[in-house]
Protein backbone atom coordinates (compact mmCIF):
# COMPACT_ATOMS: atom_id res chain seq x y z
CA UNK A 1 0.00 0.00 0.00
CA UNK A 2 2.90 2.40 0.66
CA UNK A 3 3.95 2.16 -2.98
CA UNK A 4 0.43 2.15 -4.41
CA UNK A 5 -0.14 5.91 -4.25
CA UNK A 6 3.17 6.97 -5.84
CA UNK A 7 2.85 4.27 -8.49
CA UNK A 8 -0.70 5.36 -9.25
CA UNK A 9 0.41 9.00 -9.46
CA UNK A 10 3.11 8.13 -12.00
CA UNK A 11 0.87 5.84 -14.03
CA UNK A 12 -2.13 8.16 -14.25
CA UNK A 13 -0.13 11.31 -15.01
CA UNK A 14 2.45 10.02 -17.50
CA UNK A 15 2.32 11.40 -21.05
CA UNK A 16 1.40 8.49 -23.30
CA UNK A 17 2.05 8.54 -27.04
CA UNK A 18 -0.50 6.58 -29.01
CA UNK A 19 0.29 5.38 -32.51
CA UNK A 20 -0.92 7.42 -35.46
CA UNK A 21 -2.66 4.31 -36.80
CA UNK A 22 -4.62 3.84 -33.57
CA UNK A 23 -5.52 7.53 -33.55
CA UNK A 24 -6.53 7.56 -37.22
CA UNK A 25 -8.73 4.46 -36.93
CA UNK A 26 -9.90 5.27 -33.37
CA UNK A 27 -9.60 1.58 -32.58
CA UNK A 28 -9.02 1.04 -28.83
CA UNK A 29 -7.61 -2.44 -29.53
CA UNK A 30 -4.62 -0.79 -31.21
CA UNK A 31 -3.61 1.30 -28.20
CA UNK A 32 -0.42 0.32 -26.38
CA UNK A 33 -1.40 -1.26 -23.06
CA UNK A 34 2.14 -2.19 -22.00
CA UNK A 35 2.56 -1.40 -18.29
CA UNK A 36 4.96 1.43 -17.61
CA UNK A 37 7.91 0.53 -15.40
CA UNK A 38 8.16 1.93 -11.90
CA UNK A 39 9.80 4.20 -11.14
CA UNK A 40 8.93 5.88 -14.41
CA UNK A 41 12.02 6.39 -16.56
CA UNK A 42 13.22 9.93 -17.12
CA UNK A 43 11.82 11.34 -20.30
CA UNK A 44 11.32 14.68 -22.02
CA UNK A 45 7.96 15.18 -20.30
CA UNK A 46 7.92 13.78 -16.78
CA UNK A 47 4.68 12.54 -15.27
CA UNK A 48 2.68 15.51 -14.00
CA UNK A 49 2.28 14.27 -10.45
CA UNK A 50 5.94 13.30 -10.17
CA UNK A 51 7.04 16.93 -10.54
CA UNK A 52 4.37 18.80 -8.57
CA UNK A 53 5.46 20.31 -5.27
CA UNK A 54 4.51 17.70 -2.59
CA UNK A 55 2.72 20.33 -0.47
CA UNK A 56 0.64 21.47 -3.44
CA UNK A 57 -0.14 17.90 -4.37
CA UNK A 58 -1.22 17.03 -0.83
CA UNK A 59 -3.54 20.05 -0.78
CA UNK A 60 -5.54 18.72 -3.74
CA UNK A 61 -5.26 14.97 -3.16
CA UNK A 62 -7.44 12.46 -1.43
CA UNK A 63 -5.88 9.03 -1.15
CA UNK A 64 -9.15 7.29 -0.32
CA UNK A 65 -10.09 6.29 -3.88
CA UNK A 66 -6.56 5.16 -4.69
CA UNK A 67 -6.28 3.09 -1.54
CA UNK A 68 -9.43 1.12 -1.87
CA UNK A 69 -12.78 2.55 -2.93
CA UNK A 70 -11.70 2.83 -6.56
CA UNK A 71 -11.43 -0.96 -6.58
CA UNK A 72 -15.19 -1.07 -5.95
CA UNK A 73 -15.78 1.04 -9.03
CA UNK A 74 -13.60 -1.24 -11.16
CA UNK A 75 -15.40 -4.23 -9.66
CA UNK A 76 -18.81 -2.92 -10.75
CA UNK A 77 -20.39 -5.23 -13.32
CA UNK A 78 -19.88 -3.84 -16.82
CA UNK A 79 -23.54 -4.50 -17.56
CA UNK A 80 -24.50 -2.00 -14.82
CA UNK A 81 -22.03 0.61 -16.10
CA UNK A 82 -23.38 0.17 -19.62
CA UNK A 83 -26.98 0.42 -18.39
CA UNK A 84 -26.22 3.71 -16.61
CA UNK A 85 -24.47 5.06 -19.72
CA UNK A 86 -27.44 4.09 -21.88
CA UNK A 87 -29.88 5.79 -19.50
CA UNK A 88 -27.78 8.94 -19.36
CA UNK A 89 -27.38 9.36 -23.13
CA UNK A 90 -30.02 7.33 -24.91
CA UNK A 91 -33.15 7.35 -22.74
CA UNK A 92 -35.48 9.92 -24.30
CA UNK A 93 -37.32 10.37 -20.96
CA UNK A 94 -34.07 11.29 -19.20
CA UNK A 95 -33.25 13.65 -22.06
CA UNK A 96 -36.49 15.57 -21.43
CA UNK A 97 -35.24 16.55 -17.98
CA UNK A 98 -33.04 19.63 -18.46
CA UNK A 99 -33.31 19.26 -22.24
CA UNK A 100 -30.58 21.84 -22.99
CA UNK A 101 -28.10 20.01 -20.76
CA UNK A 102 -25.54 18.00 -22.66
CA UNK A 103 -22.77 15.62 -21.69
CA UNK A 104 -19.24 16.75 -22.55
CA UNK A 105 -16.39 14.26 -22.45
CA UNK A 106 -13.00 16.00 -22.39
CA UNK A 107 -9.92 13.84 -22.80
CA UNK A 108 -6.24 14.48 -23.42
CA UNK A 109 -4.54 13.04 -26.48
CA UNK A 110 -1.63 11.88 -24.29
CA UNK A 111 -3.66 10.33 -21.50
CA UNK A 112 -3.59 6.67 -20.54
CA UNK A 113 -5.07 4.12 -22.91
CA UNK A 114 -8.15 3.42 -20.76
CA UNK A 115 -9.35 7.00 -21.10
CA UNK A 116 -8.59 7.26 -24.83
CA UNK A 117 -10.34 3.96 -25.53
CA UNK A 118 -13.35 4.90 -23.42
CA UNK A 119 -13.74 8.26 -25.19
CA UNK A 120 -13.53 6.61 -28.61
CA UNK A 121 -15.94 3.82 -27.67
CA UNK A 122 -18.49 6.24 -26.22
CA UNK A 123 -18.24 8.50 -29.26
CA UNK A 124 -18.72 5.53 -31.61
CA UNK A 125 -21.71 4.20 -29.66
CA UNK A 126 -23.30 7.65 -29.61
CA UNK A 127 -22.86 8.14 -33.37
CA UNK A 128 -24.39 4.72 -34.07
CA UNK A 129 -27.41 5.47 -31.88
CA UNK A 130 -27.80 9.01 -33.22
CA UNK A 131 -27.86 7.71 -36.80
CA UNK A 132 -31.03 5.74 -35.99
CA UNK A 133 -32.62 8.47 -33.84
CA UNK A 134 -32.02 6.78 -30.50
CA UNK A 135 -30.42 9.51 -28.37
CA UNK A 136 -31.96 11.40 -25.51
CA UNK A 137 -29.22 13.84 -24.61
CA UNK A 138 -26.53 15.61 -26.63
CA UNK A 139 -22.95 14.41 -26.34
CA UNK A 140 -19.81 16.32 -27.28
CA UNK A 141 -16.43 14.60 -27.20
CA UNK A 142 -13.51 17.03 -27.02
CA UNK A 143 -9.87 16.02 -27.45
CA UNK A 144 -7.30 18.27 -25.77
CA UNK A 145 -4.05 18.39 -27.77
CA UNK A 146 -0.82 17.75 -25.82
CA UNK A 147 -2.73 16.99 -22.59
CA UNK A 148 -2.42 13.93 -20.43
CA UNK A 149 -4.86 12.94 -17.68
CA UNK A 150 -4.30 16.33 -16.02
CA UNK A 151 -4.79 19.81 -17.37
CA UNK A 152 -1.65 21.86 -17.75
CA UNK A 153 -1.79 25.61 -17.18
CA UNK A 154 0.01 26.01 -20.50
CA UNK A 155 -2.95 24.56 -22.43
CA UNK A 156 -5.66 26.83 -23.86
CA UNK A 157 -8.20 25.50 -21.36
CA UNK A 158 -10.07 28.77 -20.89
CA UNK A 159 -11.07 28.87 -24.56
CA UNK A 160 -12.01 25.20 -24.49
CA UNK A 161 -14.20 25.56 -21.40
CA UNK A 162 -15.83 28.70 -22.76
CA UNK A 163 -16.63 26.90 -26.01
CA UNK A 164 -18.11 23.91 -24.18
CA UNK A 165 -20.17 26.01 -21.74
CA UNK A 166 -21.50 28.48 -24.29
CA UNK A 167 -22.76 25.95 -26.80
d(CA 153, CA 167): 23
Domain with 153 in it: 4-166
Determine which helix (DSSP H) or strand (DSSP E) holds 140, and give its type and residue range. strand 139-144
d(CA 57, CA 20): 33
**Dihedral sign, CA of 121, 159, 151, 67?**
negative
d(CA 78, CA 72): 12
DSSP string, 100-117: T--EEEEEETTS-HHHHH
Structural domain total, the chain: 1
What's the pLDDT score for residue 68?
62
| pLDDT tens across the length of the chain (167 residues) | 677 778 888 888 888 889 999 999 999 999 988 887 777 777 778 888 888 888 888 887 776 666 665 666 667 788 888 898 889 899 988 888 888 888 999 899 999 898 999 999 999 999 999 999 999 899 999 999 888 888 654 444 444 444 444 44
What's the pLDDT score for residue 12?
85
Amino acid sequence: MEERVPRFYSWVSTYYTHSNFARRTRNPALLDTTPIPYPVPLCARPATLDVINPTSLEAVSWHGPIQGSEALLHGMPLSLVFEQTQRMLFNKGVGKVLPRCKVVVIWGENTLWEMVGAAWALEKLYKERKAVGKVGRLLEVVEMPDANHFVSPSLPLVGLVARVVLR
